[in-house]
Structure 1
Amino acid sequence: MKASAFVYPWDVNGDPEAPGRIAGLGVRQATLASAYHSTRALTPRHPRHRIVTAEHAAVLYPAGERWQGRALRPYAAGDWAPGDAFGEAAAALADAGLEVHTWVVLAHNSRLGAEHPETSVVNAYGDRYPWAPCIAQPATRTYLVDLAAEAAVRPGAAGTELESLGWYGFAHLHAHDKTGGVGLGDAGQYLMSLCFCGTCRAGYGTGTDADELAAAVRDALEPVWRGAPSGGGWPAVEKLLGAERAAVTRAWREPVARSLQEEAVAAVRGAAPEGFQVLLHADPVWYHVGANAGVDPGGVLGTADGVVVPCTGGAGALVPFAERAGGDSAVLAANLTVVSGMGGSPDTLAADARGAAERGATELRLYHAGLASDANLTSVRTALAELNH
């Protein structure tokens, strides 16, 4: 199977050994960030630094003229990725024989929410989630579609992987996070991720009073706050909220996400050369939110060239996509964490890859070549050599 390693520009730029080291893992591709959220990242082998702090979501290349005069526009990176950091890293990786694809994070942007709070998801209690742009708002959708096209189609890139192309919600790795005191469960996460901004309040429909719906969500969550398990799966949402009200939320949210995915993929293809590959980071459960956006497995494979699916800890999420892919040429990439300190298991990579292939995976994605220790990378090289033998 073709394997690709995720990497940041700051892992490569300033480290002349990095491109060869990544190619030496046995991967054929590097999935290189071109638009990314705020983060604090290790660079354990870089000759100039050990920690990179990306203070806000940014594009890692010079933004184009399309953004001039627009209120919603991407932010330039600071000294963690100055100038055309993506282009510099992409050229170095290509010189090492790697095919470069862009890695584009979309509906996840805390600075956007801080400077334009009206763009954020608002929960049933009136709390804003500044990290989560509401994808139903027309101006936000236009921004995300244009960002997808520009950040995806960079010089030298043969394809793209679009992350967070859908609803974002309550779950968020935040600085000094203190939200784990109550286990919300699958259904509780969904209810806490429902948006009640002005656009969504109107979108729930003329037959539904948004105030009553928000009150029903709060009532449904009361037992959860007291420690009652919320359960998992859509039946648990219906049990908490009531089947009719749950259906109202689904009738609004599912088409909003699907149409945004369709628009963004079309915009990327419109800007890209022929043969440019477009993949989505995806979850086969439509109502899941976050980096791996919930999708309809059959629908997304009719929109994009394939999906990247989280498989660390098990590859079951691949199955719904494989069942809908049939015999076509869709890419089903199993995303496996190879950083042991982040819950990955590089020592079992070969076995995990075989298990993913049995469930339909056609390619591998390895998270993350820049963050992994030397020992982890050694395990990756060994595993890929075994798989490629």
Structure 2
Amino acid sequence: MRTSAFVYPWDVNGDPDAARRIADLGVQQVTLAAAYHSTRALTPRHPRHRIVTAEHAAVLYPPDQQRWQGRELRPYESGDWAPGDAYAEAAEALAGAGLDVHTWVVLAHNSRLGAEHPDTSVVNAYGDRYPWAPCIAQPPTRAYLVDLAAEAATRPGARGTELESLGWYGLAHLHAHDKTAGVGFGEAGQYLMSLCFCPACREGYAAQGLDHVALAVAVRSALEPVWRGEAADDGWPTVEKLLGADTARATRAHRDTVARGLQEAAVAAVRSAAPDGFQVLLHADPVSYHCGANAGVDPAHILSVADGVVVPCTGGAGLVRPFADQGRGVVAANLTVVRGMGGSPGTLESDARTARDLGANELRLYHAGLASDGDLEAVRRALAAL
């Protein structure tokens, strides 16, 4: 199984041993961040630093000023955590170690965008804004995301890309000092708390025959059992029970239409800007109403649009099967190999075999730069056995 490890430029730049260390894991490819959200990250082996604080979402290369000139929504440049063309510097070192380099592009997840342009954010049924979650129904935001995808994905020398957060983002997000675990939202509550009521979404609901004022009232009413801790949750059936089946389906129709349109446009823009043979994958969840970094999609649709998907499998590989059943494209099982982040590098070999049995044809390892020496040694052994 072809295997790629996720990497940040700051894992590589300034560390002369990093690229060879990653290649020696036994991977054939790296997925290198070109546009990424804010984060605080360990660099356990770097000779000059051990903590990197990326203060805001940014592109990790100099953006094309001509492309973005005069536009209100444009990518932010990184600070001293990724100076200059940090992506290109790292990509050159990794390619020099014999690794194929693919870009890693985070799209609809940007807290600085929401802070500086609050009207771009998802707004819930209570009127609360989610500054980390750009509303993908808004035409200017969609245009920004499509152009960002085309630019960030097709960095010189890249042989493919993986597009993360190319869909709806909602309530679920590890924000600064998060204090949101007091209520168990479950899938139903997450969906209801992630419905957007910005002007663009109000128009979208109207196109589905819904009055946005009545819908907001209905959503707040549906959430009352959730706030009381009384709502049993079996996913979408619970949403239909709480909101009413027809209303629930109408909200989903709006959101599915918006997400599909964005995904189609972004993939088309990347392909238009990329050389022949450039691979385009999406981080994806096979349940279309799910929100987050792994965008909820319809498997048949997305595999007719992109070359494949990267599927979260740390808690088990069951999400692989709906994609594999389509009988086409790359289905990459994404396994966390950092024990401190809930991963299990010691069971990587068996986890990979399980994912393969369910139909995965590639592996992704999260994350070569964050893992301890012991975790990386377990990865080496597992990949050698595979």
1:296-340 Cα distance to aligned partner (Å, 9 max, x none): 00000000000000001210000100111x2x3x10000000000
Which amino acid in structure 2 is aligned with residue 157 of structure 1?
A
Partner of 1:307: 309
Aligned-partner SS, 1:182 = coil
Give 1:22's aligned residue.
22
CA drift of 1:56 comes to 0.2
The answer to whether the 8 A contact 1:184-1:230 is kept is: no
Question: Residue 83 of structure 1 corresponds to which residue in structure 2?
Answer: 84
Instruction: Determine the C-alpha separation between the residues in 1 that align with 2:204 and 2:297.
Output: 19
Residue 175 of structure 1 and its aligned partner are, at CA, apart by 1.1
| Equivalence for 2:95 | 94
1:208 and 2:207 equivalent?
Answer: no
Q: How many residues of Structure 1 are paired with residues of Structure 2 in the alignment?
A: 384
5 Å matches for 1:208-227? 208-227=210-229
Amino acid at match of 2:241: K
Q: Aligned partner of 2:15: which letter?
A: D
Q: Secondary structure at the match of 1:151?
A: helix
Asked whether the 8 Å contact 1:187–1:230 carries over to 2, the reply is: no
Unaligned runs of 5+ in 1: none
Identity of aligned residues (%): 77
Q: Does 1:59 align with 2:37?
A: no
What SS does the corresponding residue of 1:112 show, helix, strand or coil? Answer: helix
* Structure 2 segments unaligned to the other structure (5+ residues): none
Paired with 2:253 and 2:229, the residues of 1 have a C-alpha distance of 29
Counterpart-to-counterpart distance in 2, 1:3 and 1:218 = 45
Matches within 5 A, 1:122-161: 122-161=123-162
Q: SS state of the match for residue 308, structure 1?
A: strand
Which residue is equivalent to 2:349? 350
The residue that corresponds to 1:183 in the other structure is 184
Deviation of the 1:232 alpha carbon: 2.6
Alignment correspondent of 1:197: 198
Spell out the pairing of 1:232-311 with structure 2 (5 A cutoff): 232-311=234-313
Alpha-carbon distance in 1 for matches of 2:77, 2:203: 34
1:228 Cα offset (Å): 1.1
Q: Distance in 1 between matches of 2:234 and 2:195?
A: 16
Cα deviation, 1:272-312, whole Å, max 9, x if unaligned, reads: 00000000000000000000000000000000000000001
Contact persistence 1:186–1:230 (CA under 8 A): no
Render the CA deviation track for 1:170-191: whole Å, top value 9, x for unaligned.
0000111000000000000000
Task: Supply the AA of the counterpart residue of 1:237.
Answer: V
Look up the equivalent residue of 1:379 and give its one-letter code.
A
Aligned-partner Cα distance in 1 for 2:233–2:137: 27
Contact 2:314 2:343 in 1 (8 A): yes
Distance in 1, matches of 2:238 and 2:324, equals 26
Alpha-carbon RMSD across the aligned residues, in angstroms, is 0.6
In the alignment, what sits opposite 2:106? Answer: 105
TM-score by length of 2: 0.99
Q: Comparing 230-239 with 277-286, which one deviates more in the overlay?
A: 230-239
What amino acid does structure 1 have at the position aligned with 2:273? A
Q: How many Å apart are 1:230 and its aligned residue? A: 4.2
Taking the aligned partners of 2:366 and 2:203, their CA distance within structure 1 comes to 40
Distance in 2 between residues matched to 1:41 and 1:70, nearest whole Å: 31
Hey, what's the Cα distance between the residues in 1 that align with 2:303 and 2:361? 14
Residue 229 of structure 1: CA displacement? 2.8
The whole-number CA distance in structure 2 between the counterparts of 1:232 and 1:275 is 42
Aligned to 2:330: 331
Q: Distance in 2 between matches of 1:319 and 1:106?
A: 26
CA contact (8 A) 2:331 2:359 kept: yes
Q: How far did 1:247 drift?
A: 1.3
| Structure 2 counterpart SS, 1:204 | helix
Tell me the amino acid that sits aligned with residue 32 of structure 2: L
Secondary structure of 1:302 counterpart: helix
Q: Deviations over 1:232-252 (max 9, x none)?
A: 321111011000110110121
Which residue of the partner structure matches residue 370 of structure 2? 371
CA distance in 2, matches of 1:242, 1:42: 46
TM-score scaled to structure 1, two decimals? Answer: 0.98
- Whether contact under 8 Å (2:186, 2:235) holds in the other structure is no
